[in-house]
Homo-oligomer: A and B are copies of this chain.
Amino acid sequence: MLKITILTIGDEICIGQVVNTNASWLAAKCTELGCRIVAHSIVGDEKEIMISELNRLLPISDFIIITGGLGPTHDDITKPVLCEFFKDELVFHEETLNQIEFLFKWRGLKLTERNRGQAFIPSKCTPLKNLMGTAPGMLFSFQNKYIVSLPGVPAEMKGLMENEILPLISKLILIRKEEVVLFKNIQTHGIAESMLADLIGEPSEFLGNGTLAFLPSYKGVRLRIGVSSGNFEEARKELKIIEDIIIKRAGKYIFAIGEDTLGSTVGKILKEKQLTLAVAESCTGGLLGGEITSTEGSSVYFKGGVIVYSNDSKINLLKVNPETIEKFGAVSKETALELAENVRKIFATDYGLSITGIAGPGGATPDKPVGTVWIGISDKVKSEAKLFTFVHDRAVNRERAVGSALGWLYNKIK
């Protein structure tokens, strides 16, 4: 197995100002290729700890991927640190300067001295052309291992990985005849983690050499199965055996195998059945539409929606009867029903999906605490509404409302 470690450099990550999405993206991509991610490490922009981490990670890695600290400002010190680690020095690299000049020209900006300095790179590295930014990637080969330093800007890091590093890793796995590790996701919705574990039964009885992990989130429990094997084909076969057993035991709660989300799964079904959808959102303020349209090509089945964040907009735009709101409140079964039905009619879609609730922290009443959410679904035959009670903060309540709405719609149309 090709052992990978990921070293993220940057005070902003270390002190928690920025979430480390780079590391998870990197890990997921390398895992897909069959590598084993041994560890992640995050340290601030400090020379001593960066060097001590490189020394610690080197013996447990075949490949170290470093991100961050390559910007043009004084706080970025990855390049001098790598020079010290490899006993190397910075040299001018003409091609890199050409690329920097090209980028500035294309953006219509004047090249600064600061950015010109980015064309100096350690002499022992192979520079990797960054098509989207001014800091090149730098690949070092050392003790039969590789160390690559990439910029922290996500799009630049991803471009360099996809164009240079992932192909190199694939080649290494083939050449070195490395064992591969493969994983597969089984996505469930509507069942708690411990109940799902009971349903699936004792893992050791059917896993063989494989692994099974339970990953609960606000959007459902994801199961991850994994196997390691001498080659891809063998690994895929073993995964399939475990997958089939789990489907047999918990199929009722499984909505997708693989990376599909509830949103993209719902989208696939709508597309396949040539059905269309519109949404009416109150407390989620557009997040449901945002989630549905995060899937490319969603315009085939998603026609739009109305963000009815005020009572007036519920009444004027979605023709909710003012008496309904007065009598039952904006967060009520009756309002959810009218929202779902009317948005369906106005957008002339097959389904209307509505959310109205109290996300918090304000807005609660004695009989409607924070987390009270009514979800409505309307099709050409009937309209229904369900009460959900969440107990979290604003952000989580909104996320759970979106997940519950999509989960219920999924069960209706699957």
Tell me the smallest distance from the CB of A80 to a CB of chain B, in Å: 16
The answer to whether A347 touches B17 (Cβ under 8 A) is: no
Q: Give the CA-CA distance A203 to B19 in the complex, in Å.
A: 26
Is A190 an interface position by the 8 A CB rule? no
The answer to whether A362 touches B198 (Cβ under 8 A) is: no
Chain A, 199-223, CB within 8 A of any chain B CB: 203-204, 211-217, 222
Q: Give the CA-CA distance A304 to B132 in the complex, in Å.
A: 36
Stretch at the interface among A244-252, A306-314, A319-327: A306-314
Q: Give the CA-CA distance A12 to B211 in the complex, in Å.
A: 12
Q: Give the CA-CA distance A385 to B277 in the complex, in Å.
A: 29
Q: How many residues of A contact B (CB 8 A)?
A: 111
B contact residues around A284 at 8 Å (CB): 290, 293
Q: Give the CA-CA distance A4 to B43 in the complex, in Å.
A: 12
B contact residues around A215 at 8 Å (CB): 12, 17-18
B contact residues around A126 at 8 Å (CB): none
Residue on B nearest A134 in the bound complex, by CB: B194
Q: Which of B213, B309, B316 contacts A346 (CB 8 A)?
A: B316
Indicate the member of A13, A29, A316 with the most B CB atoms within 10 Å.
A13
Tell me the smallest distance from the CB of A26 to a CB of chain B, in Å: 7
Is A364 an interface position by the 8 A CB rule? no
Q: Give the CA-CA distance A194 to B53 in the complex, in Å.
A: 29
Is A157 an interface position by the 8 A CB rule? no
Within the oligomer, what is the number of copies of this chain? 2
Stretch at the interface among A82-90, A142-150, A234-242, A393-401: A393-401
Q: Give the CA-CA distance A214 to B284 in the complex, in Å.
A: 33
Tell me the smallest distance from the CB of A47 to a CB of chain B, in Å: 14
B contact residues around A278 at 8 Å (CB): 313
B contact residues around A172 at 8 Å (CB): none
B contact residues around A222 at 8 Å (CB): 12, 17
Is A384 an interface position by the 8 A CB rule? no
Is A285 an interface position by the 8 A CB rule? yes
Is A170 an interface position by the 8 A CB rule? no
Q: Give the CA-CA distance A313 to B40 in the complex, in Å.
A: 47
Chain A, 266-308, CB within 8 A of any chain B CB: 278-279, 281, 283-294, 296-299, 302-308
The answer to whether B289 touches A293 (Cβ under 8 A) is: no
Is A334 an interface position by the 8 A CB rule? no
Tell me the smallest distance from the CB of A150 to a CB of chain B, in Å: 15
Is A336 an interface position by the 8 A CB rule? no
Is A379 an interface position by the 8 A CB rule? no
Tell me the smallest distance from the CB of A188 to a CB of chain B, in Å: 13
The answer to whether B14 touches A40 (Cβ under 8 A) is: yes
B contact residues around A286 at 8 Å (CB): 279, 281, 285-293, 305, 307
The answer to whether B14 touches A28 (Cβ under 8 A) is: no
Q: Known contacts A40-B42, A391-B132; is A217 also within 8 Å of B18 by CB?
A: yes
Is A56 an interface position by the 8 A CB rule? yes
B contact residues around A45 at 8 Å (CB): 213
Chain A interfacial positions (CB closer than 8 Å to B) = 11-21, 23-31, 37-45, 49, 53, 56, 71-75, 109, 112, 114-115, 132, 153-155, 183, 185, 192-195, 197-198, 203-204, 211-217, 222, 224, 226, 278-279, 281, 283-294, 296-299, 302-310, 312-313, 316-317, 346-348, 359-362, 391-396, 398
5 pairs, A vs B, C-beta closer than 8 Å = A38-B43, A39-B42, A74-B204, A296-B362, A297-B362
Seed contacts A112-B194, A287-B289, A304-B317; 4 additional CB < 8 Å A-B pairs: A16-B26, A17-B28, A153-B216, A304-B309
